[in-house]
Structure 1
Amino acid sequence: MEHQNCFHCGDNCDSEQIKYDDKLFCCNGCKTVYEIFSENDLTCYYDLQASPGSAPKEIQGKYDFLGQENIIEKLTEFNDGRIQIATLYIPHIHCSSCIWILENLNKLNKNITSSQVNFGKKTVRVTYNSEKSSLQEVVLLLSTIGYEPYISLDDFKTGKEDINRSLIYKLGVAGFAFGNVMFLSFPEYFKGGEFWLEQYKHLFRWLMFAFSLPVVFYAGRDYFTSAYKGLRAGILNIDVPIALGLVVLFVRSTVEIVLNLGAGFFDSLTGLVFFLLLGRFFQQRTYSFLSFERDYKSYFPIAITKISNGIEAPIQVYDIEKGDRLLIRNEELIPVDGILINGRAKIDYSFVTGESDPINKTSGDKLFAGGKQTTGVIEMEALKSVEQSYLTQLWSNDVFSKNKEDGFTTLTNTISKRFTIAVLIIAFVSTSYWLFTDSSKAMNVFTAVLIIVCPCAIALSAPFTLGNLLRIFGKLKFYLKNASVIEQLAAIDTIIFDKTGTITSNKQSSATYDGAVLSTSEGIQLKNTLRGSNHPLSRTLYDILDENNIITLNHFEEHLGKGIESEHQNDTMKIGSASFVGYDQDTSILNTTVHITSNDQYKGKYTFFNSYRKGLSKLFNNLKTDYDLVILSGDNAGEMENLEKLLPSKTKLIFNQKPNDKLEYIKYHQSEGAKILMIGDGLNDAGALAQSNVGIAISENVNVFSPACDAILDATKFNQLYKYIKASKQAIKIIKWSFVLSFFYNIIGLYFAVTGQLEPVIAAILMPLSSISIVAFTTLATNLIGRKLE
C-alpha cells in the first residue's frame, strides 16, 4: 500500500485523512493553515518547498497570559500605546519557505505592518498596531500557521538551542565512536591470522558498523542537511563534497562487510567526521574569542548630554545609568527608555517603526529608545541603561540603508562555487583513473580529494580580515556600520568634505557680535533657542554666550541649511542666514555670519572666525595624489582665500550649497563613474551622506544619530583619515593574499590526494588546520596594520 503524505506538513496520512481542495491533509490544523493561505493568496508558499509547514498544535487558551499588561511590557521592545514591536524566537524556522511566509504576515493580518526574519538566530521581529491587534493575536497567528514561538518570560534567549553545546554533543559521539572503531580495527591492521581474528572478525566488523551509525546519522547530519538544502536551491555549497565523501565511505564500507569483502573504511569514516567537527569547534571558539561584532558594538560612540546639579556635560551612551537626567536636543536620538520631565516632545519613531508621523508627548509620558526629538530641547530621566545591540540594530536597519555593492562577498561566493565544481570533476576523473590502475586506492583517492580541496579557507578570509579591522578601527575611534564599508572605502576615488563642523573645529572657533544690545529676555531666548539645536554654528555660539536661565519655548523649529526660529510667550526670534531672517543688507560676504531678528526686528550678527582642524593641510596633501578633493559648503565664499592657502591647488571649492544641492552634486558625479566618500556633520549632510558610496559623520560628542552615515569618526582622529583609508586598501590586499595562500595549499593537498598518498583521515585533520591558518594569517596581518595606525 502506497503511503500518502500531508500536503502541508508532509506527515504520513494513513491514520487520518482529510481532503480539501483536491489535497490531502493529516489533521484539521494543517487544513486550516492551507485555507488561511488560500484566502490570502499565499499558496505560492508551497512552491518554495514541498510540504514546508508543520502541523499546528492545540493552542486554545494556551496564550491567555499574553493579555496581561505587565507581561506585554516585558515581552515588547517598543510600546507607545499605538505601535508595539516584539521579537519572537521561532524554533521551526528552517528554510526559504519559512522566511517568505514569516515576512508576509501583513497579508495574513492587516494590522501587522512589518515582520523581519533573522534566519541565523531563528527570530522574527514583528511590528503591529496594538489598538486593533495584540501580541496574543500575533502569537496565535504564528501558532496557527505552524510557527509557534518559544516564549520565556525571564529571558527570550533561554529557549534557544546552544549551538556550541549541540556541537560538543556531536563531537563527543563522534570521538567515542572513533576511539572504539579504531580499537576494533587493530586485528585488521596487524593481519596476524590468529584464531581470534578469524573467529571474531565478523562480530568486530558489525560492531564497527553499529558505531558508525550515530556518527553518520547524528554527528554528521549537518553536512548532509546543508548539502541537500544547497542542491535543492541550485547551489553547490562547500558541504556538498564533504557529504558525498561520507556517503561513499559509508556505502562502500557497508557493502564490504555485508558481502564479506573486507572490513571497510569505518575507521576513516568515524575519524573523518570527528576531525571535521573538531575543526568546526575550534573555528567557532576562535571566532568567538575575536568577537568582532561584540567589540564593535561596545565601542559605539554616540554621546549624550547629562544634567547633573545644573551642569550639562557630554557622556558616552553606555555610561548612562538608571535615574540619570538627560538633555535631548533637536534631531537627537533618545538612547534609552525614559520618562519625559521637561519640554515639549514631538518624537519621530520612524527609526523603530518605519512610520514618520511624529507623536506628541507631555511631561510624565514614557519615551522609548530609538525615537528622535524634532521640536527643540527636552529633559528626560533614564529608566534603564543602554543596550548597544539595540542602537546598532537601528543603525543597520535595512529600511534605512541603500543596496550598496558588496563585491568581495560576491567574489568569495563565486570562487567557492567554482571550487566545488572543480573539486567534483577532479574527484571523479582521478577515481576513474585509479579504478583502472589500482582499484584498492580508488575509494581513498575519491574521499581524500573531496575533503582536502575545500574552499572553507577562502570563505573565511574576507570576514576575518574585515571583521578584525572593524574591531581595530573601533579602538581607534573610527566606527563603521559593518565590515563591508571597509571594502567600499578601499574603492573610492573622490572625497568630498563639508566645511563647518567638518574641517573646522567647533570647540576652538570664536565669534564677535555687531549690532544692537539684546535685552535680558532676548538674551535668555537666544541662549535657549541655540540650546535646542545641534548645528555646529549653534553649538559654537551657545558655548560662547553667557549662562542664562533655562526656559521652555512655546515653539521651536529648525530649517536645515537655513536657520532656527523660536517663540516664547509672545516673543519670536529667528537665527540664521541673512536671507532666512529677511535681512537684505548683508555686506560681510568674506566671513561666516549668523544673523538675529527679534519680533521681526533686525538685531545684529555674529561673525565667526573659524579654527581649522589640526593637521588639515597635511591630510589634504597626503590625499591629493590618489583622490579628487572637493570642499562642498553651505556657507558663503568668505573663507575661500584662507582655504586656497591651506589646501592643495587642485582642491575644488564650492560654496552656497543647500543640502539638496550637495546630494545632486554627488549623484551627478556618481553617474559619471565616480566612487565618492562624503564627510559631513551628520545633520545638514544626511542626504549627501546617504547618496555617497561611503558617508562618514564627524562627531564632537554630539548625539546626532542618523542611519544615513556608514561610519562615525571621532573629531580628534580627523587627521588620521588618510591612514584609515590606506588601511582599508591594505585589508583588500590581505584578502587577495589569503586567496593565493589557500590556492597553493589546495594545489599541494590535491597532488598528494590524487596520487593516492593521502588518507581521508589525514585530509580531515588538514582541512580545518588550513582554515585556522588562514584565520591566523589574516588576524596577524590586520593586527600589524593596527599597530602602524596606533
Structure 2
Amino acid sequence: MQTQEPIIIEQDQEIGTCYHCGEGLTDDIINFDHHSFCCQGCSTVYEILKENDLCRYYSLDGPQGISPDQNDYKEKFDYLDLPEVSEKVLEFTDGQRGIVNWYIPKMHCSSCIWLLEQLHRLHPGIRSSVVDFPEKKARITFDQQQLKLSELARLISSIGYEPYLSLEDLEGTKPSKWNRTRLYKIGISGFAFGNIMMMSFPEYFHMGAQGADQELMNLFSIINVILSIPVFFYCASDFFTSAYGALKARHLNIDAPIALALASVYANSLYQVATSTGSGYFDSLAGAVFFMLLGRYFQDKTYAGISFDRDYKSYFPIAITVVEGTQERKIPVGDLKTGHVMRIRNEELIPADSILKSAAARINYSFVSGEAEPVGRLKNDTVYAGGKQMGPAIELEVLRPVSQGYLTQLWNNDSFTRKKEDQQQTLSARINRYFSAAVLTLAVGTFAIWALVLKDTTTAFNAFTTLLLVACPCALLLSSTFTNGNLLAIFGKNKFYPKNAHALERLASIDSIVFDKTGTITLANESEVRYQGRDLNQQEWVAIKTLARQSSHPLSRMLVKSLKDIIISKRELLDYQEVSGAGISAKYGSQLVKLGSASWVGTAESSQAANRSVVYVSIDGQTVGHFIFQSKYRPELELALQNLQADGFGTYLLSGDKPTDRPYLSGLFGKGSPLYFEQKPIDKLRFIADLQADGHRVLMLGDGLNDAGALSQSEVGIAVSDDINNFSPSCDAILEGPQLTKLPGYIRLAKAGQQIIKASFVISLLYNAIGIAFAMMGQLSPVIAAILMPISSITVVGFTTMASNIAARRCLKN
C-alpha cells in the first residue's frame, strides 16, 4: 500500500477567469455572450445587468462581482410580506412608499456601490437607493404597489447582494451605533471657544484703560456671557450628569472635580461681569470643554461601526417555514410553538429544540458546540437549536419555543450580564480616586484659611477657583482619552479592533491566554487531505471527483477542492444515491463508485485513521483506499505561541472537537500547556471562571456562539474572524485571523499605553505642583491659571500622541 503526500496542486491548469467574479476557471465553463463564467449564477447576474444596460459595472474595478447563493429558493423571502414582519422591517411607510435600510455584508468595492445605487434601473418600482459604504448598508425607497418587500429582497439577492436579516432586527433590540449629539457639542463649544478668545484679546494685553475702550470691553464681556450659555448648560452637561451619577453611587469619578471646576469658573466669571470687577474666564471654560469633548469623541468614534455585542438572536432567521398538512407557510420565529412542524433546507439554521420527523439528517453543530464534523441524526432523535442542516430539506417538530431552548439557556448565563467596564477599576479612575479627593481638600482648605483666618473673602474665592482650574484633572482625562484613542486607531490599522478603552486597559493586565480550536486556530472550511491506498489512474480520479461534486456534505466539498487539477466529467452519473450519515454512490460508465464510511463501502476501519475524519473509496466493490482529512491550522499559530510563551503567558487549549490532533497540538503548545477536548460551552465558561478564582486574569480567543460564554466571562474576549463585518460574537475585540501572530505585540502595546498614561500624568503633576503652590498663596491670577491649564493639556496630548506612535513602531515592528 502506498502513501501519498497531501494533494495540493498549483493552479497551472487554470484557463482564464470568470468574467463576473474573477474566480479561476478550472471546472465546467459556461460561455455566454462571448464571455466565460464559472457557474450559472455568475452568468445569470451578467445577463440581468446586460438586459438593463448596467455593464459599466465591469469597467469600474474589473471582475469583482458576487455569485448568488446556490441554495436560494423562490419562497425564501416570502415571510417579509407578513404584516407582523413588514411593519418592523420597514423604516418608513405611508401605504404607497416604503423605505428599508438593509445591511449588505457582501458589499466590498466601488463597483458594489455603483450597482446598488442603480437598482432603480432594474425595476421601475424602486425609486432610489443610497449606499452607506462604511456601515455596509443600502437605504432603498420603493413603491409598495409595484414591488413587494419579498420581491425587493429577491431582486437584490439575484445580483449577489443578499440582505442580512435576523431575529434581533425584527425585535428592534439593536442599539444605535453612533450618537451625533457629541459632535454637535464639539462644534458649538469650538465655535464659542474661538470667538470668546477673540473677544478677550483686550483683557490679555491689558487694554481698555480709556472710557470708549472700556465700553467696548464691557460689550465684549456681555457677548462672552451669551456665548458661554450653551457651552455650560448644553456642551458640558455630560460632565455634570456623570459626576451626579457617581455621587449618587457614593464615589468620586474623574468628572466630579471637572464639574466643580467648571461650575466655579462659570460662577466666578458671571460674578466678575455682573460687578464690573473683571471680564471672567469664559475662554478657559469653553476651551476646557472643547478639548475634553474632542478627546472623548476621538475615542468613541474609533471603529464605532463594529458590532461586538450580538447575541443568539442576531444569528436566528426572522421567519421559518412551517408545514400544515400539504401546505407551507412562513411565520415569525418568535411565534413558533410546541408541536409546529418546521421545514429546514440545506444550510439553514435550526432555531428551536425539536424532534426529527424525517428519516435522517446531517447536522453541523460547529456554531454551538465547536465540533467541526457534522453529526448524523435519525428519525425521532432530539435536535437542538443552533445546528445547520447539511443536505436535503428535513422536517422537525418543535419541542420547545425559541425562548426556552438550549441556546437561550446558554445566553442567560450570569457571565453575559456581568459588566466588565467597572469604572472604578480603570487606571485613570484609580489615580483619580485619590487625586480628586486631594484637590477638593486643598481647595476647600485654601478657601477656609483665606476666608476665616485671613478674613479676605475676595482672595479666598479667587484662590479656590484658580486652584481648581490649575489642578483640574483635565490633563489626566485627556491623557487617558488621547492615548487610548490613538492606540485604537493604530490597532485598527493593524487589523485588531478593540471594543473600547476599557478593553485595552484589561488587555494590559492579562497573564493567561485560552485558545479555542475550530475556526480560531484552524482555517474555516479548509483541511489537509491525504490519500492512502493503491495508485489510481486518471479515469478513476475523475470518477471520484465527479461523484463527490454531487454532494453538499462538507467533506465532499473539501475533497473536491483538494483535487484542483482533476477535471469534472460531463458524463451523466447513473443510479446516484446519497444516504445521510453513510455515503454516496453512483455508476460512472460501467464502474460502481462509492464514497463514504467504512461500512458503506464494505471494509474495516483503518487503524491509521483513528479519531480522524475519513472517506473510504471503493470501485466495483473493491476498496481502493481512503482520504484522511486533517484540520488545517493557521500558519501564524506556531510563531504566536512561541512569542506568547516567551513573554511569560500561560497558554491553554479548549476545544469542542475530538482529540484528533492532540500529538500535533502538544508539539505546538508545549508540555506545560494543558489541552482539553470535547468541551461543551458551559465547560469552557467554568474553566475560565476556575482560572480567575486562582487569581489569573484571562484572555480568551474564540470564534463562535459556543465560545460566547467564555468570551464574556474572561477579562478580555477576542473573536478571531476572517470577516469582521460578517461575524462578531459577544466580545471585547475582534482580530482578523491572519494577524494572530501579532497578538504578543498587541498585548505589549496595550501595556505600553498604560505606562504612557502614567508618564503623562507625572508631566501634568509638574504643572499642577507649581500652580497649586502659587494658587494657595493667592499669588496666581485666574488668567494665568486658565492659561496653564490648556498648556498642560496640549503638552500632555502632544506627548501621548508621539509616545504611543513610537511604542507602536517598537511593539509591532515585526
Would the aligned equivalents of 2:653 and 2:676 in 1 still touch at CA under 8 Å?
yes
Is the aligned partner of 1:620 residue 2:635? no
The alignment partner of 1:588 has SS state of: helix
1:451 Cα deviation from its structure 2 partner:
1.2
Post-superposition CA distance 1:283-339 (Å, at most 9, x none): 666777x68845685999xxxxxxxxxxxxxxxxxxxxxxxxxxxxxx9989xxxxx
Q: In structure 1, how many angstroms separate the alpha carbons of the residues matched to 2:342 and 2:609?
A: 38
Would the aligned equivalents of 1:376 and 1:556 in 2 still touch at CA under 8 Å?
no
1:56 aligned partner: none
Once the two structures are overlaid, the 10-residue window that deviates more, 404-413 or 717-726, is 404-413
1:594 Cα deviation from its structure 2 partner:
3.2
Would the aligned equivalents of 2:416 and 2:713 in 1 still touch at CA under 8 Å?
no
- Which runs of structure 2 are paired with 1:319-334 in the superposition (5 Å)? none
Match of 1:784, as an amino acid? Answer: I
2:744 aligned partner: 722
Post-superposition CA distance 1:378-400 (Å, at most 9, x none): 9xxxxxxxxxxxxxxxxxx9999
CA change 1:608–1:775 in 2 (3 A) is same
The alignment partner of 2:651 has SS state of: strand
Is the aligned partner of 1:278 residue 2:287? yes
The alignment partner of 1:606 has SS state of: strand
Match of 1:741, as an amino acid? Answer: I
Q: In structure 1, how many angstroms separate the alpha carbons of the residues matched to 2:567 and 2:444?
A: 82
Would the aligned equivalents of 1:276 and 1:768 in 2 still touch at CA under 8 Å?
no
CA change 1:477–1:749 in 2 (3 A) is same
Match of 1:487, as an amino acid? Answer: E
The alignment partner of 1:405 has SS state of: coil
1:476 aligned partner: 494
Post-superposition CA distance 1:685-730 (Å, at most 9, x none): 5555455443334445698623144444344333332222222222
- Structure 1 length normalisation: TM-score? 0.55
Is the aligned partner of 1:783 residue 2:799? no
Is the aligned partner of 1:488 residue 2:503? no
2:769 aligned partner: 747
Please point out which of 733, 756, 759 is paired with 1:734: 756
1:455 aligned partner: 473
Q: In structure 1, how many angstroms separate the alpha carbons of the residues matched to 2:758 and 2:602?
A: 58
1:325 aligned partner: none
CA change 1:203–1:113 in 2 (3 A) is same
Please point out which of 514, 519, 542 is paired with 2:561: 542
Match of 1:405, as an amino acid? Answer: K
- Which runs of structure 2 are paired with 1:280-299 in the superposition (5 Å)? 280-281=289-290, 293-294=301-302
Post-superposition CA distance 1:423-459 (Å, at most 9, x none): 3332232133234445553333222112111122222
Would the aligned equivalents of 2:225 and 2:270 in 1 still touch at CA under 8 Å?
no
CA change 1:488–1:432 in 2 (3 A) is closer
Post-superposition CA distance 1:72-121 (Å, at most 9, x none): 67899899969x9xxxxxxxxxxxxxxxxxxxxxxxxxx99456775972
Q: In structure 2, how many angstroms separate the alpha carbons of the residues matched to 1:650 and 1:718?
A: 21
CA change 1:726–1:219 in 2 (3 A) is closer
CA change 1:432–1:783 in 2 (3 A) is same
The alignment partner of 1:771 has SS state of: helix
Match of 1:768, as an amino acid? Answer: P
2:68 aligned partner: none
Match of 1:476, as an amino acid? Answer: N
RMSD: 5.8
Q: In structure 1, how many angstroms separate the alpha carbons of the residues matched to 2:582 and 2:707?
A: 17
Match of 1:428, as an amino acid? Answer: V
- Which runs of structure 2 are paired with 1:74-153 in the superposition (5 Å)? 113-114=171-172, 121=179
Would the aligned equivalents of 1:253 and 1:264 in 2 still touch at CA under 8 Å?
yes
Please point out which of 609, 614, 619 is paired with 1:594: 614
Q: In structure 1, how many angstroms separate the alpha carbons of the residues matched to 2:666 and 2:218?
A: 86
2:449 aligned partner: 433
1:406 aligned partner: 421
Match of 2:229, as an amino acid? Answer: F
- Which runs of structure 2 are paired with 1:333-732 in the superposition (5 Å)? 403-407=418-422, 410-411=425-426, 412-413=428-429, 415-416=431-432, 419-435=435-451, 436-437=453-454, 441-499=459-517, 502-503=520-521, 509-512=528-531, 523-524=545-546, 526-527=548-549, 529=551, 542-544=561-563, 546=566, 548=568, 585=605, 587-588=607-608, 592-595=612-615, 605-608=626-629, 613-614=634-635, 616-624=637-645, 626-637=648-659, 639-657=661-679, 661-682=683-704, 685=707, 688-699=710-721, 705-732=727-754
The alignment partner of 1:649 has SS state of: coil
Is the aligned partner of 1:237 residue 2:267? no
Post-superposition CA distance 1:321-371 (Å, at most 9, x none): xxxxxxxxxx9989xxxxxxxxxxx999999xxxxx999899xxxxxxxxx
CA change 1:744–1:509 in 2 (3 A) is farther
Q: In structure 1, how many angstroms separate the alpha carbons of the residues matched to 2:487 and 2:520?
A: 24
1:759 Cα deviation from its structure 2 partner:
1.6
Match of 1:69, as an amino acid? Answer: R
Would the aligned equivalents of 1:409 and 1:462 in 2 still touch at CA under 8 Å?
no
Q: In structure 2, how many angstroms separate the alpha carbons of the residues matched to 1:249 and 1:452?
A: 15
Would the aligned equivalents of 2:545 and 2:560 in 1 still touch at CA under 8 Å?
no
Post-superposition CA distance 1:528-582 (Å, at most 9, x none): 655x75x9x975873446565999xx99999xxxx999999xxxx9979x99999
Post-superposition CA distance 1:627-658 (Å, at most 9, x none): 32223345554544444444432122334445
Post-superposition CA distance 1:52-79 (Å, at most 9, x none): xxxxxxxxxxx99744333467899899
CA change 1:641–1:693 in 2 (3 A) is same
CA change 1:275–1:232 in 2 (3 A) is closer
Match of 2:179, as an amino acid? Answer: K
1:247 Cα deviation from its structure 2 partner:
4.5
Q: Which structure would you say has the larger RCO, counting Cα contacts within 8 Å and 6 or more residues apart?
A: 2
CA change 1:441–1:299 in 2 (3 A) is same
1:787 Cα deviation from its structure 2 partner:
0.7
Would the aligned equivalents of 1:223 and 1:242 in 2 still touch at CA under 8 Å?
no
Q: In structure 2, how many angstroms separate the alpha carbons of the residues matched to 1:702 and 1:225?
A: 35
1:764 Cα deviation from its structure 2 partner:
1.7
CA change 1:704–1:671 in 2 (3 A) is farther
Would the aligned equivalents of 2:641 and 2:669 in 1 still touch at CA under 8 Å?
yes
CA change 1:349–1:402 in 2 (3 A) is farther
Match of 1:217, as an amino acid? Answer: I
Would the aligned equivalents of 2:688 and 2:698 in 1 still touch at CA under 8 Å?
yes
1:217 aligned partner: 229
Would you say how many aligned residue pairs link Structure 1 and Structure 2?
Answer: 557
CA change 1:282–1:226 in 2 (3 A) is closer
